[in-house]
Amino acid sequence: MGYTKNYTNVFMYRNVHLIFALITIYYICCYFPGVVQAQSVTFDGRFGAGSGFTTGKTDTSHTKRSPAFVSADIRARFDDEDFPVYALEINVELESRTTLGLVPKIEYTAKMGDYMGFTIYGGAHVKISEYNLFGPEVGVLFHTDLGKIVVHLKLSLGIFLWGSDLPENTTISKIDLSIGFSFPITRYGQ
């Protein structure tokens, strides 16, 4: 039995690249002009820590606890709008192989009463040190306002489709749960 390449998977990955490129072009064309004309920008920070579960899709699938991590976000909101809010998360895994990850994302926040709310986001998770992995990530944060500090619980789902740490025809899925807090940093403009 010889080795044969599965061209269906290669075609699927090319389609995924095309979809990501089209979404990026659409987003830049529709939303970037509004950001350039913004009158004010508000920055805030968010810190968290957590862990979760990871599963790999191979001939012998397995599930294990994903490494514990800490994360720090910086968020930018233009003209006090709830959407879009741009954020960049720096994520550091603390166990076995220490790994640095970046998650650029777009968030939408909705309030549920005076003190509670939730945020949904989508972005791309990129692991860039020790090894590299890349894939989409979505998540939801539930938060409650305690004055100047906001406490949150975050649930995220990520799928790593490409990278040096993936054997051929393999994907890694992860579900992470973290707890943390956020706080205002500064505001520029009117």
What confidence tens digit (pLDDT) does each residue in 26-50 have?
665 555 555 555 577 788 899 999 9
Residue 150's CB is within 10 A of a number of other CB atoms, namely 20
Cβ–Cβ < 8 Å for 135, 159: yes
Domains of the chain: residue spans and CATH? 40-189 (2.40.160.20)
Give this prediction's pTM.
Answer: 0.72
Distance between first and last Cα of the chain: 70
Residue 149's CB is within 10 A of a number of other CB atoms, namely 11
What confidence tens digit (pLDDT) does each residue in 46-91 have?
999 999 888 876 555 566 777 889 999 988 887 766 678 889 899 9
